[in-house]
Structure 1
Amino acid sequence: MLVVTSGDVYTDLDVLACAIAYGEILNKTHRPALVYLPGPLNESITSSMRNWDFKYQTKLEPGDYQYVIVDVSDPDHISRVVDPTKISKIYDHHFGHEDYWRSRIGDGAHIEPVGACATLIWEEAVKKGATLSQISVNLLYTAIFSNTLNFNASVTHDRDKRAFAQLGKLVDLPPNWPEIYYSELEADVFANPSEAIVKDIKTTVLSKFPHPFIIGQLELWNSQKFLVNHMGTIKEALQAHGNPYWFFTSPSISDGHNYLYTENPGLKDLLTRLIGAKFTGDLGTTDKLYLRKEILKKLQEYK
């Protein structure tokens, strides 16, 4: 039996879309599979989307499994129940662990520089001639524009745009779905800001630095409003990790740049050098949109 899974801290939209769709691809090509996602859904899956009829397991019974991993390739972030020697495939778009996996599973490692892992999964569906359900099509379509910040992020690839266009012919969503999605996302976040922040915090260890980084991220239509109203909540959530090297980044899609928050002078200086951040006190801005993974890549490449 094949198990499609990811990490276990939280389940974001790209993870959900990829896991549901790839599980369906396997089952429709006569390879029995189940989807196991132990992490709670985070804010990127909006209230109305949670009523979509997707199904997965949050607990995994003991068994003889082979694993397909989606949207993560850092060995430290893969679900703890996974036996790493039984991973047969990985689909991811995050940098840093390509050689590690290619040396272990060879052609089973599909780690490629696209904006959304959902793009890779859609390409697999096309390659295998698998007709996906409406739910999977809608999830992949939404994950692609969400993970590329509505195609404004620099990680956006022509492959993302092509997959989005192909899926756009198949979805049964309103024509203005991206606008509806971001409006719902913002309403959900403002309704429960603490939970939204906690469910999208990533702890990252980079070999060039003697300490881990604690990075919170929320992608919003209007990030400035959120930061101004909820700085105390952000600080409390990030400081709870007991590490002074924390910062919060929020791409503000309506005005095309990020809002940043940190109280660490060294981090302010680092973010200024890496992404041209301009700080006034503890709040900073950038001159274009950055996803967390793009900032992490610049940290990894820092000399």
Structure 2
Amino acid sequence: MIKTLVTSYNNPDLDGSACSFAYAEFLNKTNTEIIAAVFGKIHREAEFVFNKFNITQMQDADDLRNLENYNFILVDSSDLKGISRKIIPNKVIEVIDHRKINDSYMFQNAKVQIELVGSCGTLIAEKFYNNKVDISKESAILLYSAIISNTINFKANVTTDRDRNMASFLKSKLDLPDDYAHEMFYFKSRFNTSLKETIIHDFAYFNFSDKNIGIAQLEIVDVDNFIKNNLGELNTILNNLKNDRKFDFIFLSCIDIEAGFNTFLVIDDSSKSLVENSLNIKFNNNICKISGIIMRKEITPKLKEFLER
């Protein structure tokens, strides 16, 4: 019998980790034998939720033998460059994601579900809700936390009514303190690795019109003081990444997850021009602060559209 592994991209964030855990539960409860596992290391925010609620973490996928004999289900992931090289594209049988920019067409044998909601956790929660399958408290807290994180507690533009409805459904299964979101966001803002390592861990790169673009994104509290206190180091990190990885453009998007705004940082005029023209914003001394929140998944389609004109 062919085994099936549900997983996400390398070093998954809370959304990818939660979806892997919960979708495996859903499928196992609907008579499909599934293994949930992780390639790499889950993000610190995901670790926070697993540890706070004493949830047993998923297996390390690299420890599984004979992966070439597995089928794969990808959640919160739909592009080749983000997944482990051990995942064979033609053995991916399902893809569930919520990004407008995706490579789902590369998985020719997969059933594909791409729907533009704030969190992939919403799509997984809907499977429990719509099919009237009981959900464990572990999966409920993971998916609820993922929705809160991905929508920045419903402040982000990507938030939909579906996200709010599923968060309400999941929260009804739980007994959480009123300040839970603040506690999770505050933990996420305390780095336990160097600033360089923290940025690289959630760094993303894209190629549009033969131009290589690197985008760093941090979601923290007290962005103003963070930028002020770390500006020199941030500039050095971005410069080194641009030179080492041969990026044509690079920038940092810093999201204040409690105050609800973005600050962008660039290090060169070409990147400044790209971001200004794509997002219709204006920099002052390589820094631009805008009200409201725009996520990387919203930024990338705008960059692509501008470069492909």
Inter-partner Cα distance in structure 2 for 1:133 and 1:70: 19
Partner of 1:88: 93
State the Cα distance separating 1:129 from its structure 2 match: 2.9
Query: Structure 1 counterpart of 2:56, which letter?
Result: F
State the Cα distance separating 1:46 from its structure 2 match: 5.5
Q: Deviations over 1:230-250 (max 9, x none)?
A: 223333443343235211101
Per the normalisation by structure 2, the TM-score is 0.88
Inter-partner Cα distance in structure 1 for 2:230 and 2:43: 18
Q: 1:270 aligns with which of 274, 279, 292?
A: 274
Inter-partner Cα distance in structure 2 for 1:136 and 1:191: 28
Partner of 2:213: 213
Inter-partner Cα distance in structure 1 for 2:274 and 2:183: 36
Report matched runs for 1:242-261 at 5 Å.
242=244, 243-244=246-247, 245-261=249-265
Please tell me whether residue 115 in structure 1 is matched to residue 122 in structure 2.
no
Inter-partner Cα distance in structure 1 for 2:201 and 2:33: 31
Inter-partner Cα distance in structure 1 for 2:80 and 2:223: 32
Partner of 2:175: 172
Per the normalisation by structure 1, the TM-score is 0.90
RMSD, aligned CA = 2.1
Indicate the larger mover: 118-127 or 89-98: 89-98
Indicate the larger mover: 24-33 or 65-74: 24-33
Query: Structure 2 counterpart of 1:23, which letter?
Result: A
Partner of 1:148: 151
The answer on whether the counterparts of 1:43 and 1:199 sit within 8 Å (CA) in structure 2 is: no
Please tell me whether residue 17 in structure 1 is matched to residue 18 in structure 2.
yes
Partner of 1:194: 196
Inter-partner Cα distance in structure 2 for 1:39 and 1:277: 36
State the Cα distance separating 1:133 from its structure 2 match: 1.9
Query: Structure 1 counterpart of 2:221, which letter?
Result: W
Query: Structure 2 counterpart of 1:280, which letter?
Result: N
The answer on whether the counterparts of 2:7 and 2:38 sit within 8 Å (CA) in structure 1 is: yes
Please tell me whether residue 76 in structure 1 is matched to residue 81 in structure 2.
yes
Any runs of at least 4 consecutive aligned residues in structure 1 with deviations exceeding 6 A, and if so which? none
State the Cα distance separating 1:192 from its structure 2 match: 4.7
Inter-partner Cα distance in structure 2 for 1:91 and 1:154: 21
SS class of match (1:280): coil
Partner of 2:59: 57
Please tell me whether residue 126 in structure 1 is matched to residue 129 in structure 2.
yes
Inter-partner Cα distance in structure 1 for 2:214 and 2:102: 20
The answer on whether the counterparts of 1:71 and 1:92 sit within 8 Å (CA) in structure 2 is: yes
State the Cα distance separating 1:99 from its structure 2 match: 6.6
- Cα gap change, 1:128 to 1:240, in 2 (>3 Å): farther
Inter-partner Cα distance in structure 2 for 1:130 and 1:83: 30
Q: Deviations over 1:235-270 (max 9, x none)?
A: 344334323521110111333320111112111122
Q: How many residues of Structure 1 are paired with residues of Structure 2 in the alignment?
A: 297
- Cα gap change, 1:105 to 1:256, in 2 (>3 Å): same
Where does structure 1 lack aligned partners over 5 or more consecutive residues? none
State the Cα distance separating 1:95 from its structure 2 match: 1.5
Where does structure 2 lack aligned partners over 5 or more consecutive residues? none
State the Cα distance separating 1:105 from its structure 2 match: 4.0
- Cα gap change, 1:255 to 1:176, in 2 (>3 Å): closer
Q: 1:67 aligns with which of 63, 72, 77?
A: 72
- Cα gap change, 1:227 to 1:268, in 2 (>3 Å): same
State the Cα distance separating 1:287 from its structure 2 match: 3.0
Inter-partner Cα distance in structure 1 for 2:50 and 2:24: 19
Overall identity of the aligned pairs, in %? 30
State the Cα distance separating 1:191 from its structure 2 match: 7.2
The answer on whether the counterparts of 1:18 and 1:117 sit within 8 Å (CA) in structure 2 is: yes
SS class of match (2:72): strand
Please tell me whether residue 136 in structure 1 is matched to residue 139 in structure 2.
yes
Inter-partner Cα distance in structure 1 for 2:45 and 2:211: 28
